[in-house]
A and B are shown apart, each in its own frame.
Chain A
Amino acid sequence: MTNLLNLEGIFFYAVICLYFAATVFYFLFVTVKKEALGKAAAAIQILGLVLHTAALILRGIGAGRLPLTNQYEFATSFAWGLCLVSLVFIWRFKFPVIGTFAAPIILLLIGYAAMQSREVKALMPALRSSWLGFHVSTAIIAYGSFGVSAVLGLIFLLRERMKNQGFWDKHIPAREKLDLISYRSVCLGLLFLTFTIITGAIWAEQAWGSYWSWDPKETWSLVTWLIYATYLHLRIRRGWKGRTAAIFAVVGFVCVLFTYVGVNTLLPGLHSYA
Chain B
Amino acid sequence: MKKLWKFLGSMQFAIGLLVVLALACAGGSFLPQGLRYEEYAALYSERTAGLILALRLDDVFHSWWVLVLTGFLCGNLLLCNLLRLPQLLRRSRQAGDPAHLGAPTVTVGGVQDPDAVLTRLRMPKAVEHTDAEGRTLRIAVKHRAGLWGAWVCHLGILLLILGFVLGQMTKEEYTVYGVPGQVKQIEGTEYALKIRDFQLQREADGFVTQYTTALTLYDLSNEDDVLAQDATASVNHPGSAFGFKLYQNSTGDAAHFTVRRDGETVQEAVLCVGEQISLLNTPLQVQLRAVLADHDKAANGSSVPGYAYQIYIDDSFYGMDVQPEGGTIQDFLPYEVSFSEPQSYTLIQLKRDRFSRLALAGGLITLLGLFLAFYCQTRRVWAIREADGGWTVFGSSPKGGALFAEQVREAANQVQS
Contacts and interface: CB of A to CB of B under 8 A. Distances in A.
A128 B349 contact: no
B89 interface: no
Given A211-B359, A214-B61, A227-B22, A220 B238 contact: no
Contact of B247 (A181, A208, A220, A234): A208
A129 B403 contact: no
B257 to A, nearest CB: 29
B320 interface: no
A10 interface: no
Contacts of A205: 356
Interface stretch (B35-43, B137-145, B200-208, B325-333): B200-208
Given A123-B209, A126-B235, A198-B364, A237 B249 contact: no
Interface residues of B, number: 50
Contact of B374 (A129, A191, A263): A191
Contacts of B374: 184, 187-188, 190-191
Interface in A151-191: 174, 176-177, 180-181, 184, 187-188, 190-191
A35 to B, nearest CB: 21
B164 interface: yes
Given A125-B210, A177-B402, A222 B25 contact: yes
A191 B370 contact: yes
A236 B149 CA distance: 14
A93 B176 CA distance: 58
Contact of A206 (B238, B359, B367, B406): B238
Interface in B11-58: 11-12, 14-15, 18-19, 21-22, 25-26, 28-30
Contacts of A39: none
Nearest to A123: B209
A191 to B, nearest CB: 5
Interface in B291-324: none
**Which interface residue of B203, B245, B247 has the most chain A CB atoms within 10 A?**
B247
A129 B173 CA distance: 23
A219 interface: yes
B11 A176 contact: no
B166 interface: no
B403 A191 contact: no
B360 interface: yes
A263 B205 CA distance: 32
A219 B25 contact: yes
Contacts of B401: 176, 180
A125 B142 CA distance: 47
B380 to A, nearest CB: 18
Contact of B11 (A181, A210, A227, A237): A237
B363 interface: yes
B252 to A, nearest CB: 14
A188 B28 CA distance: 28
A4 B110 CA distance: 62
Interface string A91-112: 0000000000000000000000
A223 B22 contact: yes
Given A125-B210, A128-B210, A209 B359 contact: no
Contacts of A190: 370, 374
Nearest to B167: A211
B11 A236 contact: yes
Interface string A187-217: 1101100110110011101111111101010
Contacts of B249: 208-209
Contacts of A125: 208-211, 234-236
A233 B25 contact: no
A177 B400 CA distance: 10
A267 interface: yes
A183 to B, nearest CB: 8
A125 B234 CA distance: 9
Contacts of B367: 191, 194-195, 198
A230 interface: yes
Contacts of B164: 212
9 closest A-B pairs (Cβ-Cβ)? Answer: A125-B235, A209-B247, A226-B22, A187-B374, A122-B207, A198-B363, A237-B11, A129-B236, A219-B29
Interface of B: 11-12, 14-15, 18-19, 21-22, 25-26, 28-30, 61, 164, 173, 203, 205, 207-211, 234-238, 245, 247, 249, 349, 351, 356, 359-360, 363-364, 366-367, 370-371, 373-375, 400-403, 406
10 contacts: A180-B400, A187-B370, A190-B370, A205-B356, A208-B249, A209-B173, A212-B164, A216-B29, A223-B22, A267-B29
Interface of A: 122-126, 128-129, 131, 174, 176-177, 180-181, 184, 187-188, 190-191, 194-195, 197-198, 201-203, 205-212, 214, 216, 219-220, 222-223, 226-227, 229-230, 233-234, 236-237, 263, 267
Given A174-B402, A220-B25, 4 more contacts: A125-B209, A190-B374, A219-B26, A237-B12
